Amino acid sequence: MPKYLIRLDDACHQSNWDNWDKIQQLFSKYKIKPIVGVIPSNRDQKFKYSNLSDKIFWKKVKEWESIGWVIGMHGYDHVYITNKSGLVPISNKSEFAGLSLSDQRNKIKKAWDIFCKHSIKPKIWVAPSHSFDLNTLEAIKMETEINIISDGIALNVFFKNDIFWIPQQLWSFKKLFFGSVWTICLHPNTLKEKDLINIEKMIEKFKRNITSLGEIELVKREKSMLDKLFQFIFFRILFLKKTIKSFTFTSVIKHGSKKYK
């Protein structure tokens, strides 16, 4: 049976801390050790749930680290400044993809320095909206000690550009009978009460197959033909979904315009 790794995105000073506390209690109950993407200097205006002081926020991150949560560098400020998809074409907005190596080194160095100032060294890179490019990888290698990325579409861990990639393919639990490692990305800030209830149900159902980064064997393997086939199918399905969504939205706008003429 495949293993499921859970990733929590968008931890920042302005997070929905009621939800994060509930998630922490739930994960403690089931002894789950997720990857958590931490934004060190958030300026994304959509996160306006709270405003923790610097001291309290980093104390919380340090607490997560002490209980075995894997701290990930989730960009620098989470502000999208290009429309580039980069190496993983899931989204067409980016904090990094398309910028020069010098600019990316500067952002990543500032992010790394903030973590280090609070005695935390992130173990993994988590790109906002999955968007980063080769310059990002070079900047990470030049300015940090990180050699693992939580991203990419494959059925197992692979090694590319001198970095280990742990694929991230899911946004909810699904019963699967193929593949070795599936990462489920959750966004605690936007979860509703019903979502939290459903997550516990899924954890109860899949608990024997939930793993942690420390239990995953990092092997220097290239993508197999099955990995490449899965990636091809994944992006074709994603493209189809986006096309249908765009077509539906356009139809609604057109019909709505006619209705009110």
Residue-level pLDDT at 6: 98
**How much is the pTM?**
0.92
* Residue type present at position 189: N
pLDDT score of 28 more than 50: yes
Task: State how far the Cα of 16 lies from the Cα of 190, in Å rounded to an integer.
Answer: 8
| Residue located via tokens 């000073």 | 13
Using N-to-C axis directions, what is the helix angle for 134-143 and 101-117, rounded to 10°?
A: 40
User: Percent of the chain at pLDDT above 70?
Assistant: 94
Structure tokens at 26: 């739930």
Side-chain half-sphere of 215: how many Cα atoms within 13 Å?
16
Homologous superfamily of the 3-223 domain (CATH): Glycoside hydrolase/deacetylase (3.20.20.370)
Task: State how far the Cα of 233 lies from the Cα of 257, in Å rounded to an integer.
Answer: 36
CA angle 255, 258, 261 (to 5 degrees): 150
Q: What is the pLDDT of residues 111-153, one digit of tens each?
A: 999 999 999 999 999 999 999 999 999 999 999 999 999 999 9
Question: Dihedral of CA 183/235/122/11: which sign?
Answer: negative
Pairing of strands 163-166, 148-150: parallel
Residue-level pLDDT at 253: 45
Mean pLDDT value of segment 157-185:
96
pLDDT category of residue 259 using cuts at 50, 70 and 90: very low
Partner residues linked to 132 by β-bridges: 86
Q: What is the pLDDT of residues 65-119, one digit of tens each?
A: 999 999 999 999 999 999 999 999 999 999 999 999 999 999 999 999 999 999 9
Residue-level pLDDT at 89: 93
Which comes out higher in pLDDT, residue 168 or 251? 168
Contact 98, 106 (CB under 8 A): no
Helix (H, G, I), strand (E, B) or coil at 73: strand
